[in-house]
A = this chain, B = another copy of it.
């Protein structure tokens, strides 16, 4: 942990900066593998799966037989996943926009309609743990939006299977096309399509730097992606009323995500800062992934602000993915926040709640993108198409306005498109 006892113009910029992650070194390799998938389709995928996941599959599609593995999920976990799905559904379905027809002038009607993106691909990373929570966070809004085709890719385990909890979450959401494909080859399959996997319009989901680079490359080839990805971040904004043990626990939870994780505490209380330092040291000794957590904690920054307002200003300048506010009046403070991915208010609202079950989405902007980007929501699975319909009477009213402006912009044929209609009305 690094302690900064004063914020000033000399260190403010440094403290806001993220570590630069240059992935350009892997670009040629990722480009090459994507090209293999583009050229050789399914055959390339089977070969790359053998190479990277160490398993030669008979079929990349999870069949009905394999889906029976969901029975292996223990009942308490099933119940938890069901509760989380219900909460995520409740929160996301409120994001649906109703179509309102606006008559801007008599006879001039304008409206917009949310229309689902037709074909989406969801990527769920593998690794030591089964990330079934990501299945919910992407699958629930995709279903609510009404996407026509939802395909899910996730790498197979060494024995060629998918973790039952991932299958359970997918089934619960209603996803039927599940493919045992991981990494670069999954992004390639979704971006270009193969005999088995259909080409999609937009790709969602987290991943390591190879997956992130692959998404970045295909996003320049006409496929949309969710949001730019970077290491996870938490900033905790606290005053002397906060509980240092809770803060320490949240910093450790963040550190658990890996050595790249960004953990920041900013407070105007020197006492709290010292208490948090002690509490982190104490809790870290008892943690499960000690080595990994200690590595991540090396980057952890405990910062003393001149006052509470400066702490808020710093938070806005940093634009954290996750912001926890533990202060005397977190609701009042939250109204001053204008840059953050998701905000957690008060002593009893850990980030873990939003990661899993409260209802908000856990796919959030990192690396300062919270200044301009929202996290994943129902909006991410739709586009909003505008419509307009003008009556002859409406055109008689608005026509001269259009003509005047078009002529001033020297677009005479635009003006003519109105004139020919007005002539017809008369």
Interface residues of A (CB under 8 A from B): 76-77, 79-81, 83-84, 86-87, 90-91, 94-95, 97, 100, 102, 104-105, 108, 110, 112, 115-118, 128-133, 165, 201-202, 222, 224, 243, 245-246, 249-250, 252-253, 255-257, 283, 287-289, 293, 330-331, 334, 337-361, 365, 367-375, 377, 379, 383-392, 394-395, 398, 400-402, 404-406, 408-418, 420-421, 424-425
Q: A77 and B408: CB pair below 8 A?
A: yes
| Given contact pairs A110-B91, A359-B102, A420-B246, A340 touches B415 in the complex (Cβ within 8 A) | no
Residues of B within 8 A of A105 (CB): 83, 87, 358
Bound together, the chains give a CA A369 to CA B357 distance in angstroms of 33
Known: A348-B390, A418-B350. A373 touches B383 (CB 8 A): yes
A255 → chain B, closest Cβ, in Å? 7
CB <8 Å contact, A383 and B372: yes
Min CB distance, A201 to chain B, in Å?
5
A87 touches B108 (CB 8 A): yes
- Asked if A104 meets B132 with Cβ closer than 8 Å, knowing A249-B413, A361-B386, A401-B357, the reply is no
Q: Which residue of B lies closest to A423 (CB)?
A: B245
Question: Which residues of chain B come closer than 8 Å to A344, judged between CB atoms?
Answer: 387-389
Question: Are A372 and B201 in touch, CB under 8 angstroms?
Answer: yes
Please name all residues of chain B whose beta carbon is closer than 8 Å to the beta carbon of A334 when the two chains form the complex.
387
6 A-B residue pairs with Cβ-Cβ distance under 8 Å, sorted by A, are A97-B97, A334-B387, A337-B385, A342-B386, A343-B386, A361-B386
Task: Pick the residue among B102, B133, B339 that contacts A90 (CB under 8 A).
Answer: B102
Interface contact B115-A338, CB-CB below 8 Å: yes
Q: Is the CB of A342 within 8 A of B388?
A: yes
Q: How far is the CA of A252 from the CA of B149 in the complex (A)?
A: 38
Contact yes or no, A412 B104, CB < 8 A? no
Is the Cβ of A379 less than 8 Å from the Cβ of B384?
Answer: yes
